[in-house]
């Protein structure tokens, strides 16, 4: 039986070689046995850069991935959500941001 998978592909055509970038994104996994959220970074090959399966709470969190550009720069980033065995659930991604430089160590959380 075919797995239910949703993908979002972001093209990054002109990244500068020999430089650092940080990919930041907000994500949320809600529900029982909700599935997986993965992020693949594609240059000449597809590398799994980040993965989250269950969430101990259902709040929005921020993910970050450090991208170093060698000669072979990143061409695209693929967010992949795979449906789990649970009856109800939600996997969401929002606020995707690519900034130059190193990823910040911590984030200020704003309680609203």
The residue extents of the domains of the chain are: 5-97
The DSSP secondary-structure symbol of 13 reads T
pLDDT digit string (tens) for 36-83? Answer: 999 999 887 788 999 999 777 889 999 999 998 888 888 999 999 999
pLDDT for the residue numbered 45:
79
Task: Choose among 42, 33, 54, 45: nearest CA to 7.
Answer: 42
Residues in the chain: 112
Q: What is the pTM of this model?
A: 0.85
Integer Cα distance of 66 and 64 in angstroms: 7
**CATH no. of 5-97:** 2.60.120.200
pLDDT at 107 over 60: no
Average pLDDT value for the chain: 87
Q: Helix or strand or coil: residue 85?
A: coil
Q: Give me the pLDDT at residue 71, please.
A: 81
């Amino acid at each position: 039986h075919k797995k239910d998978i949703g993908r979002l592909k972001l093209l990054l055509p002109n990244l500068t070689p020999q430089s650092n970038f940080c990919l930041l994104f907000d994500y949320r996994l809600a529900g029982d046995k909700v599935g997986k959220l993965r992020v693949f970074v594609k240059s000449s090959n597809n590398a799994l850069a980040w993965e989250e399966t269950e969430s101990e709470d259902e709040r929005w969190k921020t993910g970050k991935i450090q991208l170093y550009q060698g000669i072979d720069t990143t061409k695209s980033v693929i967010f992949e959500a795979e449906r789990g065995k649970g009856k109800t659930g939600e996997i969401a991604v929002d606020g995707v941001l690519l900034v130059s430089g190193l990823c910040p160590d911590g984030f200020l959380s704003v309680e609203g």
